Chain A
Amino acid sequence: MTDGGGQGGKATIEGGVDAIVIGGAPDGLVAAAYLARAGLKTVLLEASGEIGAPYRRAAPDGEGALNGEHLFHALDPQMIDDLDLYSCGVAYAARRMGVAYFFEDGECLRLGGDLRAAAQDAEPDGDAFMAFITDAFEAASFLRPLFSGAPGANAAFKAAFADAPPRLAALAERWMAQSAEEALADYFPDGAAKTALLAEAAFRSGAPPHEAMSFSPLLARWAGEVAGLQGAVAFAEGGAGAVIDALRRAAQKAKVEFRTSSPVAKILIEKDRAAGVELETGNQLRAPVVVAAIDAETTYTRLIGPAVLDRAFQQSIAMRKPAVSTAHLHLELKGAPMDAATRADLARRIVYAPSVERIRRAFVAASNGEVPAHLIVEAVFENAFDEDAATDRQRLSVLAHPVPVSLPAGKKHRKALRDAIIAGVERFAPDISARIDAETLATAGDMAAGAGAPTRAFAAREGVYRQIARGASVTSAGSIGGLYFCGPEAQIGYGINGAAGRNAAQAALRKSVRAGAAQ
């Protein structure tokens, strides 16, 4: 069902709804599915004409999803089970992807998907790599509750921290505060493994690897689990679009009512409680539970307004001046047919890891609004995972980091960014320029425009401590009863995860049960 009414006519007030979810992003779908499965009549309102936008932009050939999320680092396992997502269509073409790091000097480091096993064989840094990976995975696993954003997880973690072996507690505390360069310097004097790991720590992070707390994003990533494997990277069949489709199916199965083209103008607050929403058409939809799955600034500043929120809360959710972001370039390549061996070799994550100095300079340039000369590039040959795909065409999905949050207007700046990304790609595919048949570049600004959100909502995330602090604040919803939040700020780290949507829905259901019991 879609909502078109109200415009030019008399505004209506609609009731009989238990829960409203604002935003058809993955966490919105997750929250809606949970609420509906619990028996709440749930309506999901999406501003655009399509669920999952901007996570679902058509590729030039009309297939697949260009959303900047071509891989999965952490997909909430409990959500997968609870929503039975495997039966809704989630399938992995690669569960534990290998990785090939390319360096400035043309050297390449290839690692298997199980980092702990791969570390053992990594030459010439095997021992150091093994010691580092063992410590890092242990610390990441220990810190996992902290990164979950679940209510009560912090208190549980505090108890676990008090009882933890002293070495583990000290290591976790130190690594949460250290720069990536400092953390790695304790294990590696230099070398390919160190360069690769520094690039990993800096990739998609707002914190340059020489700055304090810049190691923690890597720990947060390695704390995640996808397809039952900690720290793994997976490629879903059909890409991220297929996962969103699966989430949509799960929500549909639970009888969520979708209303696209229904932008919300206001969240109705009555007596310090959410009472529903007012659409831009002027129509009101009333419900005792409202879940916001859009960015915090839009939720609190635009849809609720500062008059209802105290100053300390506004200060705590403010996210100002993001420094850098990640750009996505999708390439359609024509070229020689792929044989099975080539396809197998391409079926991995490919990373161009510039030197430490280059990465530092890239962060400086990007934060000054300039396109860096060298970018960290992560690329995936998407149809290398598809045995039925045409063999004489390739689809290459590329993420490049760090790039300016806002590019100045004009084609020349976009071209400069595009050329810098291609320069990174050419480190592992030297002949690529001649083979490009079609391409699509998406910056943070493009993605924000697609979502109707401020650009900063698509900027690289700041340090993990700040994310934890902000996450706790935004999910507290400014103490407005009946309002729950699962926008991007509720999640620690990047990528599609789903835990924030589950947390918001479960919090709403707990409160509903309590309220029901009290009545």
Chain B
Amino acid sequence: MAATFDLLVIGDDAPSLCAAAAGAAAGATTALAATGAVTHGGPSVCDIPNFVWRRLDLQDFGLATEPVSARITLLADGETAATHRGLEDTVDALRDVDADGAALWPEMTDDMRALGETGLTVGVGGCAPKALSLIDNMRALADLGRITGSGAELIEDYVNGGPLNAHINAHALAPFGLGGVEAGSAAALPEFFDEHAWRVRAKSGARSIIGALRKACEHHGVAATASGVEKASADGARHNSILFKGGEKIRSRYIFFACPDAAEAAGYGGAGQGSPANGARAVMRIKLRDPVDPPTGDRRALFQIVDEAADLKKARNAALGGRMFERLPVEFEFTDKGDIVARTAYVPKRLQEEGEWRDWTGQDRQLLSTIVLNRLAARIDGLQDQIRKTDLKLIDRANAGEDKFADARNVVLQPRRHNAIAAAVMLIDKVLADD
């Protein structure tokens, strides 16, 4: 007889691991299935909030984190903009480069956090829980109007043009592949200002975050299953039957995806939620012969390369139209070993040539690698000479096959979030509480 669980979490990333451990710690019998896909591929993850930390006793598993030192945007012509976790630090940093922005930053932070507390967490292009049930309230309606609008417009309410405008666009919208004009893209802003959206890295010498979270899962009794779901379908009145590629079979009441990347990798057909249709993502790991000096000298910052805010819309339109974009927005960070992990969410799922759609070829991958490397090399002195090896992975590519979860019930998918760990654990709590 197949083992039966309350919850099957599918994914290898930090939000999935936290969700699985939290589910198990809350008393649910929990299984975890790896997807075997790179779903993050960088040294930083979004903040692990205190309530998760305490519930899972993460310090017992060697987890020690520190916040990334800054969010930095490398604009065209050598211009930069930076914000920090502390309000005062940001105001100080902005004062010299953008006095108006420095004055408005506290107000915008307060407003966005208040907007985030309304419960109108639209998710970026995803769902709008509570929106309908809050709809009679005038204040909620005004907030709903703002949060369901365009991200670029919401930013312009506070910062009209300039480096800070481009910086907020880049860090708030680019991780989702948004152009800023989409309805609902404004929902990324309150999350971006949420303290749990600030990314953290493992302290130097400490165990990796993923490694520590795996230990936590083991400790709390999360059962590791085979990887690679062959088919999931409803089984009886309450459960799903999940067949893995190796033939292993389990039953589970809920199937939970903490992020769309994991869902896509597992073959869930609804994974398009939360990202613009036809937009894919790419992660590139660049191994170096010798370390290079990071831009601004900050090795533990999170960088975005965006020439100007308007490029996000152009890049998104290019991705939707099946084209590569030369001035590609690229996010990157340095690993403790000195390598670089670069990411972009403005990659076409399929490419279009002479009006016909086609799949990626080796040449296309090479072109994308070249674009990413050129973008990095233009901002990092001496990078071209130090590149030893590059490895490009595409995520969210179109599912060629059938939806493996089409016949399953109680499949829960969290849209892409800035504060993905906090949101995933709260969603797990909600799922278990509703059961």
Q: Which residues of chain A have a CB within 8 Å of any CB of chain B?
A: 146, 154-155, 157-158, 161-162, 169, 172-174, 176-179, 181-182, 185-186, 206-207, 210-214, 312, 315-316, 320-321, 323, 357, 360-361, 364, 367-368, 462-463, 465-466, 468-470, 472-473, 476
Contacts and interface: CB of A to CB of B under 8 A. Distances in A.
25 contacts: A154-B136, A158-B134, A158-B136, A162-B133, A172-B132, A173-B131, A174-B127, A176-B132, A177-B128, A178-B127, A181-B272, A185-B269, A206-B183, A207-B183, A211-B125, A211-B276, A320-B153, A321-B153, A364-B320, A463-B148, A463-B184, A469-B141, A469-B144, A469-B146, A472-B142
B419 interface: no
A182 B183 CA distance: 15
B64 interface: no
Contact of B142 (A155, A174, A312): A312
B125 A161 contact: no
A355 to B, nearest CB: 10
B135 A463 contact: no
A323 B276 CA distance: 17
Contacts of B276: 210-211
B277 A179 contact: yes
B27 interface: no
B317 to A, nearest CB: 5
Contact of A161 (B133, B183, B270, B273): B133
Interface string B273-292: 10011100000000000000
B127 A158 contact: no
Contacts of A315: 157
Given A468-B141, A469-B142, A462 B149 contact: yes
B138 A472 contact: yes
Contact of A323 (B131, B134, B181, B273): B181
Contacts of A211: 125, 182-184, 276
Contacts of B382: none
B36 interface: no
Contacts of B273: 178, 182
A328 to B, nearest CB: 25
A513 B392 CA distance: 71
State the majority secondary structure of interface residues on A.
helix
- Most chain B CB inside 10 Å of its own CB: which residue of A146, A157, A207, A210: A210
Nearest to A323: B181
A476 B148 CA distance: 20
Query: B interface, how many residues as a size bin?
Result: 35 or more
A473 B146 CA distance: 12
B126 interface: yes
Contact of A177 (B122, B141, B145): B122
A468 B146 CA distance: 11
A368 B314 CA distance: 10
B131 A357 contact: no
B238 to A, nearest CB: 15
A178 B128 CA distance: 9
Given A469-B141, A469-B148, A473-B141, A155 B270 contact: no
Contacts of A466: 145, 148-149, 183
Contact of A185 (B123, B272, B321, B357): B272
A162 B278 CA distance: 36
A489 to B, nearest CB: 11
B129 interface: yes
Contact of B128 (A154, A173, A181, A462): A173
Contact of A146 (B125, B134, B135): B135
A462 B181 CA distance: 11
B158 to A, nearest CB: 11
A254 B272 CA distance: 55
A316 B135 CA distance: 16
B141 A212 contact: no
Nearest to B186: A466
Contacts of B352: 357
B131 A472 contact: no
Contacts of A212: 122, 124-126, 182-184
A321 B276 CA distance: 20
A382 B276 CA distance: 39
Given A155-B136, A177-B184, 14 more contacts: A161-B132, A173-B129, A177-B131, A178-B127, A182-B273, A186-B270, A212-B124, A315-B157, A463-B183, A465-B148, A466-B149, A468-B145, A472-B138, A476-B138
A463 B185 CA distance: 12
Contacts of A176: 128, 131-132
B149 A364 contact: no
Contacts of B148: 213, 463, 465-466, 469
A357 B357 contact: yes
A214 B144 contact: no
Contact of A469 (B145, B153, B184): B145
A231 to B, nearest CB: 21
Contacts of B182: 211-212
A469 to B, nearest CB: 3
A154 B141 contact: yes
B275 to A, nearest CB: 10
B272 A472 contact: no
Nearest to B135: A154
A315 B352 CA distance: 40
Contacts of A158: 132-136
B127 A367 contact: no
Given A177-B126, A312-B142, A157 B135 contact: yes
Contacts of B125: 179, 211-212
Contacts of A470: 145
Interface in B245-294: 269-270, 272-273, 276-278
